[in-house]
């Protein structure tokens, strides 16, 4: 077995890629998503009616996945709209637990009257639960983790270079 160590060049390149990628993801993806979640807390609201409430089933890597599938109608300034999101990130997640989906659907039975929050500038941008959910918070903080790993890689490089300089200094004294 050989003892492999990462070359300083590899550590530098991968560290920089992690840092730059995390910054780009944060500024171009996380910040707008978190801003929309925060803005949704002050959106206008109206009353809507659930027109469809069912469980969507799909297969993923051999596992059966479930998601709540909800549609609702609502009216803004005399114009009718159709919404399908519970939260801003609805539709992007599913679970293997049908029980969790059934619990969520119990809050939105067919024909039920619901409070709909909508963007007054773009009323078809609507949700039933405004604000940040778990997925939004995950999207907000995950890039920091990748940036941290990048800095750890650069720290390893600095330590290696420091040891090299120390070895050269001690070697030159002898």
Q: Can you tell me whether residue 94 is helix, strand or coil?
A: coil
Give a yes or no: residue 13 inside a domain.
Answer: yes
Are 77 and 49 contained in the same domain?
yes
Describe the strand order of the beta sheet including 113-119 as a list of residue ranges.
79-83, 63-76, 44-60, 113-119, 122-127
Give a yes or no: residue 3 inside a domain.
Answer: no
d(CA 120, CA 107): 25
Are 106 and 74 contained in the same domain?
yes
Are 47 and 106 contained in the same domain?
yes
Give a yes or no: residue 174 inside a domain.
Answer: no
Q: Do 161 and 8 meet the contact criterion of CB atoms below 8 Å apart?
A: yes
Structural domain tally of the chain? 2
Show the tokens assigned to 28: 């171009």
Mean of pLDDT values over 105-134: 93
Are 30 and 49 contained in the same domain?
no
Are 65 and 125 contained in the same domain?
yes
**pLDDT tens digits, residue range 135-163?**
888 888 899 999 999 999 889 888 888 87
Give a yes or no: residue 28 inside a domain.
Answer: yes
Are 24 and 88 contained in the same domain?
no
Are 158 and 81 contained in the same domain?
no
Boundaries of domain holding 49: 43-130
Q: Do 58 and 65 meet the contact criterion of CB atoms below 8 Å apart?
A: yes
**pLDDT tens digits, residue range 7-62?**
778 888 999 999 999 999 999 989 998 999 899 999 999 999 999 999 888 888 88
Are 144 and 65 contained in the same domain?
no
């Amino acid at each position: 077995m050989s003892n492999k160590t990462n070359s300083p060049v590899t550590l530098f390149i991968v560290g920089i890629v992690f840092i730059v990628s995390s910054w780009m993801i944060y500024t171009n993806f996380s910040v707008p998503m978190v801003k929309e979640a925060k803005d949704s807390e002050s959106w206008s609201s109206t009353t809507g009616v659930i027109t469809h409430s069912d469980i969507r089933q799909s297969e993923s890597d051999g596992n059966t996945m479930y998601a709540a599938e909800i549609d609702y109608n609502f009216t803004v300034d005399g114009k009718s709209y159709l919404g399908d999101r519970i939260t801003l990130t609805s539709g992007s997640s599913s679970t293997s637990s049908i029980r969790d989906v059934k619990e969520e659907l119990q809050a939105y039975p067919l024909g039920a009257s619901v409070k709909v929050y909508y963007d007054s500038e773009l009323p078809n941008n609507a949700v039933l639960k405004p604000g940040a959910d778990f997925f939004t918070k995950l999207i907000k903080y995950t890039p920091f983790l990748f940036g941290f790993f990048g800095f750890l890689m650069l720290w390893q490089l600095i330590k290696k270079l420091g040891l090299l300089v120390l070895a050269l200094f001690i070697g030159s004294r002898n």
